[in-house]
Amino acid sequence: MDLQLTDKIIIIDLEATCWEGDTSYQKEHSEIIEIGICSLDVDTGAIEAKSGLLVKPVNSEISEFCTKLTTITPAMVAAEGISLKEAAAIIKEEYNSQNFTWASYGAYDKSMLKEQCQKFDIDYPMSSNHINVKVLLSEKLGLSKGIGMKAALKRLKLPLNGTHHRGVDDAYNIARIMNWILKN
């Protein structure tokens, strides 16, 4: 994989509405409810500007299953949530996201963000330079198949910081994995 380096990489992790069981329903109705974001200084390894933007879903609701998985409740999103359009504007303005390479763990975040921006007629806030950290780690470790983020942390002997399946914490942990890849 060709890795285009800059002085920083923006790390994104999305959480979305989800339901137990039927994946076809989920594929059709899932919406972003949190955008976890931070930036990784490529030279120093410092992880900065860590944030979790709660996003109000337009056409779906946060299920009990989703709350158990993410700890995000409908009340949290009602009180603190913003529109996806507002979240995209914050990412563009505060992270200068269209001018930096960005990364996520797997392809889901990239495709979901593109799909949701298109669906709701929102300017896509990210650059075209994307790093799939899951694929990059698999290549680095010589694995034939990708492993989940939690398993990757364990394999690299990095403790899980925060709550797994919270975008704000997962973005931070993905930045730690990306930093490990860059330094090893």
Query: What ranges do the domains of the chain cover?
Result: 8-183
* Contact (Cβ atoms closer than 8 angstroms) between residue 176 and residue 159: no
State pLDDT tens for residues 75-115.
999 999 999 999 999 999 999 999 999 999 999 999 999 99
The CATH architecture assigned to 8-183 reads: 2-Layer Sandwich (3.30)
State pLDDT tens for residues 12-44.
999 999 999 867 777 788 999 999 999 999 999
Task: Tell me the C-alpha distance between 101 and 178, whole Å.
Answer: 12
State pLDDT tens for residues 117-155.
999 999 999 999 999 999 999 999 999 999 999 999 999
Tell me what pLDDT residue 117 has. 98
State pLDDT tens for residues 46-71.
999 999 999 999 999 999 999 999 99
Beta-bridge partners for 51 = 37
